[in-house]
Structure 1
């Protein structure tokens, strides 16, 4: 299958960035590798920075799509879905480690630029997804300790990811995923009666810049509900109604001044499905936080 010239430019850029670094790669070199003129480069991208930003967006969106398309089915229980999602994350990191190395080395954490901000937003979204997935798997018994478990999970993932990306170590992703989940099982069972160290309020107050805004959190929660709706054992007609309801709810939340009565009505309809009730309650709490913040 032939690829577009824009895609050729992306592929050329990834190779050159990996070989000699982002800052030492010129637009002229990228264009030459893609066998077009420097002038033709600007038909596709305004700058080298815009090209790299699009590469980052592609990487992030590809992972989100893979995670959101993993439907809960009769062949996969909640634990297996959680395990598979971690495996997908780690596998994508392993496959794209050259590109990730560029991101980490050339755009270090805390730099005040668009790309560093994108990286931080992506990291925050993944952390929140992990938190919600842990609640989904282990239930109410870990609710008070969920942020502590989430941070432990992030720490485990970070150290292995560092070995994969920075040292180029090849690890069995399936074996690693099973190892991580086994340890989360042990921790989830052992902390039931312990007092939490972390909570959302503490995390928000300590690092405002690394946490998503309430509207961003709302969008994330709704995007994670869609696969659950698609996996429900109900008629196609009823499923279509729920998906339409979810789409309208997401659209309304993106408005500058969302209609709260409409959000309440749509939420109530979705909440009639037992499998969605807990997720919608979480969504409603975020809506309440949004309202409080606007007062």
Structure 2
């Protein structure tokens, strides 16, 4: 990434953290970045595209650092988990605006791609923690691992908010050790009670399939409308009828019907929607 693009990312992130995504305009970002508004669009197609770029850029930096700890063979599994958690707090504290953006935007964002990003990161964290719990405490904790991961996620989130919005200063290592000790208490309690709240995690990890499918259907419709003259009225009307039927069957989780509709759409031979259809096909095949 060139320096100018990175500077725009950092500027936009600061403005999103201060004012919120919806109250920050591309004009304002351009002015604070020292570029013309037209030039800004050569780097990012839209404000949503800019937001996604920010989220991916900083998340990738964090994930690389956390992954590096996995290669430190001198650490025990518990020490490794503690160091990764400490790094999580350190990086969020260093990139304070990045966490503020997440706190502001993740709950009720109207943009599908941005909402999907936040859901995926929450899901990834829960999966990572669930796997760590089983690795640290053995297979006997497996039935309760996801419940424990949810509780742990809540603790990590609230202490992060205390640091960033409440101004609290913690030793990252001490905080990480404290939270992992509390996790051990939670796990010990679950093993004694032998009760769990979440009996089946499969539904949770499939929640984003509908949103992702709908995103591709909307993309197909936009491409159809954009290329309507080239496609022709009759073929356009057939294609739109198919996408409408897809939306209806998406709600009913009719995978077989969706596959049939997609084949029918493919048979119309409309080149401009080929890539979007490939994405839709991938999601249908991955649906739970």
Report the CA distance between 1:84 and its aligned residue: 0.9
1:70 counterpart residue number: 69
Partners in 2 of 1:24 and 1:193 — Cα distance?
A: 50
Contact 2:48/2:111 (8 A) holds in 1: no
1:171 counterpart SS class? coil
Residues 122 and 206 of structure 1: is their aligned pair in 2 closer, same or farther, counting only changes over 3 Å?
closer
Residues 156 and 15 of structure 1: is their aligned pair in 2 closer, same or farther, counting only changes over 3 Å?
closer
Contact 1:109/1:120 (8 A) holds in 2: no
1:35 counterpart residue number: 34
Contact 1:121/1:211 (8 A) holds in 2: no
Contact 1:131/1:146 (8 A) holds in 2: yes
Partners in 2 of 1:172 and 1:72 — Cα distance?
A: 24
Pair 1:139-2:138 in alignment: yes
Residues 197 and 210 of structure 1: is their aligned pair in 2 closer, same or farther, counting only changes over 3 Å?
farther
Pair 1:16-2:15 in alignment: yes
Residues 34 and 79 of structure 1: is their aligned pair in 2 closer, same or farther, counting only changes over 3 Å?
same
Report the CA distance between 1:6 and its aligned residue: 0.9
Per-residue CA distance 1:186-229 (angstroms, 9 max, x = gap)? 3334543432313451x4447852699xxxxxxxxxxxxxxxxx
Aligned length in residues: 216
Report the CA distance between 1:185 and its aligned residue: 2.6
Contact 1:72/1:81 (8 A) holds in 2: no
Moved more, 144-153 or 192-201: 192-201
Residues 149 and 3 of structure 1: is their aligned pair in 2 closer, same or farther, counting only changes over 3 Å?
same
2:207 counterpart residue number: 209
1:282 counterpart residue number: none
Residues 131 and 207 of structure 1: is their aligned pair in 2 closer, same or farther, counting only changes over 3 Å?
closer
Report the CA distance between 1:152 and its aligned residue: 2.1
Partners in 1 of 2:199 and 2:92 — Cα distance?
A: 27
Residues 210 and 178 of structure 1: is their aligned pair in 2 closer, same or farther, counting only changes over 3 Å?
farther
Partners in 1 of 2:205 and 2:73 — Cα distance?
A: 40
The answer for unaligned runs of 5 or more in structure 1 is 213-290
Contact 2:11/2:32 (8 A) holds in 1: yes
Partners in 1 of 2:15 and 2:37 — Cα distance?
A: 15
Report the CA distance between 1:150 and its aligned residue: 1.4
The answer for unaligned runs of 5 or more in structure 2 is 211-284
Contact 2:126/2:146 (8 A) holds in 1: no
RMSD: 3.1
Report the CA distance between 1:23 and its aligned residue: 2.2
Partners in 2 of 1:86 and 1:31 — Cα distance?
A: 36
Report the CA distance between 1:161 and its aligned residue: 2.1
Partners in 2 of 1:16 and 1:205 — Cα distance?
A: 36
Partners in 2 of 1:205 and 1:158 — Cα distance?
A: 23
Partners in 1 of 2:286 and 2:94 — Cα distance?
A: 43
Residues 195 and 48 of structure 1: is their aligned pair in 2 closer, same or farther, counting only changes over 3 Å?
same
